[in-house]
Structure 1
């Protein structure tokens, strides 16, 4: 799946949901003044921005495998240490941080247990290591309506097929297997009002993430039928879309 896109494209696609979620997630992992924090899988910087606001750029570090996302995050938050890299091999020493977070990225890691294990390694003993994932198993993501309509048009198509960890139990299992203690998982729902159907639909046209790749690969006729069916279901706008995520945390 591709996240080698401009930060602005991702913002239009998912940033409208990840921004509000990141602020609540930062509360959940108890980000507070005086800490050093790392954002793993930072993307263009939804969680990074919250960390910078609360801790100051000098205390914030971030990592992402996508070069465009790293460039966007660096430009937005000068002074923060933003590096290109993968969660499974973080370029930091043991016990460097007071808190570590990964917002909407664990379910995309090549090896989620290894990735969260690395987050645990770089976090001091007793510090929170946390992550959020969409509820993929019960199809409660902001994009779930697309999958519902698409399954009617192309029954064998499933944009979430093969994406792991998309449940409370799955996330809890990863945190436990990574060696964390005092593990807790809660639900966090995010609701966004979209002024028009066009504003909601346009970001899905750029091949971002599994759903974007799925839409891009459709026959043009099927893609047109999908858009028409979604427009009929959602209306011209304004309308609300809600995504439900699971937020988990455990102590290093």
Structure 2
């Protein structure tokens, strides 16, 4: 899927939502000063920045398979151990961290169960592993973008089935990794947009499955999708809400 894009492009698309989720995820994992933590699937660093603010950049590790995202994260979090790679084979020793977090990533892993098991492996016993992923029907931007695309391309698949989008799936991943679930539920955040132009620029120049679907559309189809979305949004500034499922396991 299309995640080999510049960090600022992802930030315009999804980073404005990650900014709200990051402190909620850090709270869920009880991240505090003195801990050593890892961000699995760090993207351009939305959560990594929050972790570094709490524990210091030198006590944060992060990993992502996208080279542009790794470069952006390294720039944003000086001193952090940021590496390029997948979550299914983490390059750190057993029990190296006091908490492991993964924000909006597990569904995109080739093997989500293996990825969560790896998070447990690198986390010391008695500490927390926290994961979250979007509940797409309650993500207003993704829902509207998907409907706009399929209004002109009914055969498009802007949101293929991904592990973690349904209730209970993240909990199951935690349990499959041999951990007890200590918390799970929903996190809801809001993201601001200056106007419709800001919204559509972020969607049409986005990342992931939405970007993949947009790339297959003709200029006429793009114009039709834009008109569909414009008809559903107000003039001027507005905000959209998004809800993510989350689960926390005791390693």
TM-score greater than 0.5 by the shorter chain: yes
Give the Cα–Cα distance (whole angstroms) in 1 for the partners of residues 213 and 153 of structure 2: 11
1:89-238 matched pairs, under 5 angstroms: 89-136=89-136, 138-140=137-139, 142-206=141-205, 208-238=207-237
1:43 counterpart residue number: 43
**Greater Cα shift, 79-88 or 216-225:** 216-225
Give the Cα–Cα distance (whole angstroms) in 2 for the partners of residues 225 and 148 of structure 1: 11
Change (3 A) 1:141 1:101: farther
Q: CA deviation at 1:183?
A: 4.0
Query: Could you say what the CA RMSD is over the residues aligned between the two structures, in angstroms?
Result: 1.4
**Greater Cα shift, 68-77 or 198-207:** 198-207
Count of matched residue pairs: 251
Give the Cα–Cα distance (whole angstroms) in 1 for the partners of residues 250 and 143 of structure 2: 32
Q: Structure 1: which 5+ runs fail to align?
A: none
Q: For 1:94-129, what per-residue CA distance to the aligned partner results, in whole angstroms no more than 9, with x for missing partners?
A: 000000000010111110000000000000001100
Task: Note if contact 1:172-1:183 (Cα within 8 Å) is conserved in structure 2.
Answer: no
Change (3 A) 1:86 1:72: same
TM-score, normalised with respect to structure 2: 0.96
2:80 counterpart residue number: 80
Task: Note if contact 2:138-2:242 (Cα within 8 Å) is conserved in structure 1.
Answer: no
Secondary structure of 1:101's partner? strand
Q: CA deviation at 1:139?
A: 5.0
Q: CA deviation at 1:193?
A: 2.3
Q: For 1:24-54, what per-residue CA distance to the aligned partner results, in whole angstroms no more than 9, with x for missing partners?
A: 1111111011100000000110110011000
TM-score, normalised with respect to structure 1: 0.95
**Greater Cα shift, 231-240 or 196-205:** 231-240
Q: CA deviation at 1:185?
A: 1.2
